[in-house]
Amino acid sequence: METFLDIAKYILPSLVVLVTAYLVIRSFLENEQRNLEAERRTGWDKTLLSLRLQAYERMILYLERITPANLIMRVSKPEMDAEQLQTVMVRTIREEFDHNLSQQLYLSDEAWGQIKKAREDLIRMINTAATRIELNAPSHELASVLFGDLQKEDDLPYEKAIRLLKKEFREMK
């Protein structure tokens, strides 16, 4: 019995130290794991925020590029007739939209819907203006009719989309 007590005197404190060390190390490792996860989430959040900001920038740039004034200045050539200008404008709007399709991943559904509506409405306005003039008329006639139609509009679709993007951008955290 005395040897058992002698052995217990040495083993019991060792077991207490071992259990304490185990608990401290386990707690430390769990804490480190939580910290690593938090850092990863923070890194992901920063990356996602950066991508969202770029998406808002790109879509505002797209909307600005497809405004009739900017679009006509970029694509028209003096030798074009109205039909050629109409074709180039519609193609440019669609191509630039297709180039930015992946940006919908970072925008709200409402914002993406407004952008699509702006594209569709502008194409419709161009095509409608083109029906009111001769196809072989000079391109400046199509531009004039289109600008006249735009002046009659109270809330232009691309301006509405830009306002929504700016509003969402300001509300982003």
Q: What is the pLDDT of residues 114-133, one digit of tens each?
A: 999 999 999 999 999 999 99
b or e along 70-90 (b: 16 or more beta carbons within 10 Å of the residue's beta carbon)?
A: ebbeebbeeebbbbbbbebbb
- Over range 89-111, report the average pLDDT: 96
Distance, in Å, from the CA atom of 133 to the CA atom of 82, rounded to the nearest integer, reads 8
Distance, in Å, from the CA atom of 32 to the CA atom of 65, rounded to the nearest integer, reads 49
**Residue 62 confidence (pLDDT):** 97
**Residue 128 confidence (pLDDT):** 96
Tell me the average pLDDT of the chain: 90
The 3 state secondary structure assigned to 120-167 is: HHHHHHHHHHHHCCCCCCEHHHHHHHHHHHHHHCCCCHHHHHHHHHHH
**Residue 173 confidence (pLDDT):** 62
**Residue 159 confidence (pLDDT):** 95
Confidence class for position 2, pLDDT limits 50, 70, 90: confident
pTM: 0.76
Strand partners, 138: 81
**Residue 99 confidence (pLDDT):** 95
145 alpha-carbon distance from chain centroid: 33
